[in-house]
Amino acid sequence: MAKLVFGMNQSLDGFVDHTQFGPSPTLFRHFIGEAERQSGSIYGRRMYEIMRYWEEEHPEWDADRLAYAAAWRRQPKWVVSRTLQSVGPNASLVGDDLECAMRKLKAERDGDIAVAGPDLARSLTDLGLIDEYRIYLHPVVLGRGKPYFAGPRPPLRLVAIDRIDGDVIRLTYAPA
């Protein structure tokens, strides 16, 4: 049975914003490894459109970016959207019944399936479908933005703390 995992970079004050801070080379290599091990990813429309950046190679990419793109392209992707009519390679649109589709996906797959984006994570949290939350905590204060938890924080229990890079720790939580 697959496990749905919501993980994102987060500021000390609880916000996620890939334009305000990004991963160091060490953390980026960690994310390459994560992408290589994942059984797939689930996206909402906005996050999927951001991630489609990895579909085409760019001449300025270094070896790490090429490796991440290759891992991202290989894995299956499921896109939750009411407005998209089609999606790119190795991706499928999720129908109207999110809960049924995600329960089926979890039952049919093994390994970790990444959940991308706070809004989608909120919907899946409300349905009781997120199995693990991974917060990559950065020593940055943004003061505003999109919060990691788009709704009320679910009851959680800390299951692991890992130092990933000099100043970044990963806090791993499971539903309590």
The Cα 30–Cα 19 span in angstroms is: 19
For the 2-175 domain, the top CATH level (class) is alpha beta
Mean pLDDT of 21-33: 93
For the chain, the straight-line distance linking the first and the last C-alpha, in angstroms and rounded, comes to 20
pLDDT of 19: 82
**Nearest Cα to 133, choosing from 123, 146, 147, 148?**
148
- Tens-place pLDDT, residues 82-97: 999 999 999 999 988 9
| Domain residue ranges of the chain, discontinuous segments joined by + | 2-175
The yes-or-no verdict on residue 145 having pLDDT over 90 is yes
pTM: 0.94
**Nearest Cα to 35, choosing from 1, 10, 64?**
64
pLDDT of 2: 98
How much is the mean pLDDT over the chain?
95
The yes-or-no verdict on residue 22 having pLDDT over 90 is no
